[in-house]
Structure 1
Amino acid sequence: MSNTSSPKSRSPRSPQDPSVAVNETIAVDEPQDEEEDLTLGSDADSSTASISSSILNYRTINGRTFHSERGNAAYWGSNDERQSDAMDIATLPSHHIWTLAHDGELYFAPLEDNIQKVLDVGTGTGIWAIDFADKFPGCEVIGTDISPIQPGWVPPNLKFEIEDCTQQWTFPSESFDYVHLRYLVGCIPDWTELFSQAYKTLKPGGWVESFEISPTAESDDGTVTHDSAMAQWGRIVIEASEKIGNSFTVVDDKVQKPALQEAGFVDIHEWEFKCPLNPWPKDPKLKEIGRFGEVFLTQDTEGFVTLAANLLGWSMEEVHVYIAKFRREVRNRKHHVYIRLRAVWARKPETKEEPVPA
């Protein structure tokens, strides 16, 4: 077992983005006329095509195409090309929801420029790992997932491996400086065990960072009602995930911080963000995030809904009716809907360091 410590870190950033304090009400950009409330039909299709095109252009400019064979691994969403494109929208830096919310940053943990080895767990299409590897060309980056949907053309310091993070990890102890986990909600039966595996693989002084999303649609002004399709979505995936023994309420139940504490981590920091799901906010940054949120949810709604609906015994007719209603509601600017994002990052103590309360 190596006793090499992770490179010394900078002081942690402020745990709360001041632009959207979670207890503040987001200002609404009132539509100029009734027609602007509903972006249905060709207008919505055009908007989706435009954003999708900009993403594909970004990837082409950077010399990469995503053409790997798709696997058959289990996941709460589909792993076909449509779903992968939808996930790209939510994970591509300068275009994606997370980095827009983070002011362009890929992470919150106070990492050093000379970071040596990083693990991206649940890498999905590999977009985050690719951008991290580009940002730190001297760092070895490994992305793991249960399905081989990553591209073949990647930075030379990046490789992808097939691994199920709910099983025992195969990496040597104390071999990574940073472990990044994102969008694992609904896939993990035991979060303390997950973070314990991360703890084991991290060098002393290394950082772990967990980014997760709530399925619960909310509004500050009552425009998302209990009987709406948007509110029903949260209940659908929560009930379906319970049937397979995994939780979708990681953010709602504030699971990450106590699980990290139980795993032995210290210096735990949290960040929470109200993420609009259509461009209803007045704030330009939130409006842009809302545009991507809308496309993310409506581009391949079937990929998100079908598995959960099947677990609940829905017919395909019921699924299609629900999806149509869901899309109409998401595109209606009178629905001031958002979901919560949460990032939690923490440090593994130095070898001789006494753990301190977070």
Structure 2
Amino acid sequence: MADQAASQTAAGPSTTPLDIQGATQNDLEVADDETDSAYDDDDVASDTTSLRSSIEDYHFQNGRRYHAGPNDEQQSDSLDIAHHIWTLTKDGNLHLAPLQNPQRVLDVGTGTGIWAIDFADHYPSASVIGTDLSPIQPLSVPPNLQFEIDDCCMDWTYRKESFDFVHIRSLYGCVADWPAFYEQCFKHTKPGGWIEQSEMGVVPKSDDGTVKPDSIFHQWGEVSLRAGDEFGKSLRTVDEMKQGIKDAGFVDVVEIRTKWPMGPWVKDEKLKEIGRWNRLHWESSMEGWCMFLLTNYLKWSPEEVQIYLAKMRAMLRNKGVHAYQDM
């Protein structure tokens, strides 16, 4: 993940809000026991009004439901798994920005709404808004939270300088014009307020050479980046957002980079737990990530994609491959 916390105006010297374990590691230490039981197969397996008419403008393709992206129950489950991993990574914290008594908070691209719900519970005096294109959020929510159908890529309809905190997570592949998006963030954040963006890289890597140039993991990285380029929405956000946030005018920009192991092969217990959940995240999410892009923009057949996914699942279970993704 790359995690960006940035203030709308200068608020003193830049400091790292929280020390994330693994953030400055060059290498991840491989667990001594390559037969770790963690590899068992049975482990924890816009204008708002103008959008109303398209709230459920879904389409179905290859057995999946899509809006702007996959939004069916399987995808919702994977989003909640990712939320759990983010929370593990941040040592149980919902944010890294040094917030003090936030009063008005925006969660952009809220998805299932799980982060917004947890945040509203934790800060009962804050007014929290979660926005998304799809109404997949629960109806029973804290009284200080409301969900709205909105397109974050259009001009925002909120009053300027109205939010103490803008939270952004996993919008890679969702935004075509990042400078325009960050401009909206800047305009709508109060002076002295913060935005925080958390993103994941899509390219599997290794520090010990076990992700080989001829491997399916290496192919996944190349294919994913190419598909995002053809789609017109970059999947390189993890590496591009720091400069984009600075270019929008934010100051005190803090970048915290770490690694999510793609399996429980790591010696460190916290990272092992993250790896265990991240492998499940990949297994539950891969089809939603790539089926639409590869069939529509790289012209693969659904059968070719399924063979591709089967190879990926096998590699994820390969104990000798010590892969991770940048975060």
Q: TM-score range by the shorter chain?
A: 0.7 to 0.9
Q: Alpha-carbon deviation of 1:18?
A: 5.6
2:174 counterpart letter in structure 1: C
1:277-296 deviation line (CA, Å, top 9, x unaligned):
10000000000000010000
The alignment partner of 2:165 has SS state of strand
- In the superposition, relative to structure 1, how do residues 136 and 328 fare at CA in structure 2: closer, same or farther (>3 Å)? same
| 2:71 corresponds to which of 75, 79, 100 | 79
1:325 corresponds to which of 308, 311, 316: 311
Compared with structure 1, are the counterparts of its residues 28 and 186 closer, same or farther at alpha carbon in structure 2 (3 Å cutoff)?
Answer: same
| 1:110-154 alpha-carbon deviations (Å, 9 max, x no partner) | 101x21100000101111101000100110000001111111111
Aligned to 2:30: 28
Is 2:18 aligned against 1:19? Answer: no
Distance in 2 between the 1:334 and 1:150 partners? 39
3-state secondary structure, aligned to 1:309 = helix
Identity %: 46
User: Could you say which residue in structure 1 is the equivalent of 2:247?
Assistant: 262
1:200 aligns with 2:200: no
Is 1:238 aligned to 2:225, yes or no? yes
Q: CA deviation at 1:15?
A: 5.8
Aligned: 1:212 with 2:199: yes
Corresponding position of 1:109: 97
Aligned partner of 1:136 in structure 2 is: 123
Deviation at 1:218, TM superposition (A): 0.3
1:62 aligned partner: none
1-side partners of 2:128 and 2:71: how far apart?
Answer: 23
Q: 2:213 aligns with which of 203, 214, 226?
A: 226
Offset at 1:87?
1.0
Distance in 1, matches of 2:232 and 2:205, equals 25
1:71 and 1:221, CA in 2 relative to 1: closer, same or farther beyond 3 A? farther
Amino acid at match of 2:303: E
Secondary structure of 2:237's aligned partner = coil
Matches within 5 A, 1:269-288: 269-288=254-273
Return 5+ residue gaps in structure 2 as ranges: 1-7, 46-54, 59-65
Q: Residue 178 of structure 1: SS of its match in structure 2? A: strand
Moved more, 279-288 or 208-217: 208-217
Q: What is the match of residue 275 of structure 2?
A: 290
> 1:104-183 counterparts in 2 under 5 A?
104-112=92-100, 114-183=101-170
| 1:107 partner SS | coil
| Separation in structure 1 between the aligned mates of residue 244 and residue 286 of structure 2, nearest angstrom | 31
Secondary structure in 1 matching 2:164: strand
In structure 2, what residue type is equivalent to 1:85? D
CA–CA distance in 2 between the matches of 1:319 and 1:116?
A: 46
Shift in Å, 1:37:
8.9
Amino acid at match of 2:74: R
Could you tell me how far 1:191 is from its partner in structure 2? 1.6
Structure 1 residue 30: Cα displacement: 3.1
The one-character-per-residue Cα deviations of 1:50-91 (angstroms, maximum 9, x if unpaired) are xxxxxxxxxxxxxxxxxxx97626444x21001110111111
Query: Any idea what the Cα deviations from partners look like across 1:271-314, whole Å, max 9, x if unmatched?
Result: 00111010000000000000010000112432222112112111
CA distance in 2, matches of 1:98, 1:234: 22
Shift in Å, 1:214: 0.6
Asked which structure has the greater RCO (Cα within 8 Å, sep 6+), the reply is 2
What's the offset of the Cα at 1:11?
A: 7.9
Instruction: Pick closer, same or farther for the CA change 1:191–1:175 going to 2, 3 Å.
Output: same
Select the residue among 311, 314, 319 that pairs with 2:300.
314
Equivalenced residue count is 302
Task: Note closer, same or farther for the CA distance 1:169–1:331 as it changes in structure 2 (3 Å cut).
Answer: same
Given that 2:30 and 2:266 are in contact with CA atoms closer than 8 Å, whether structure 1 keeps it comes out as yes
Task: Report the residue type matching 2:290 in the other structure.
Answer: V
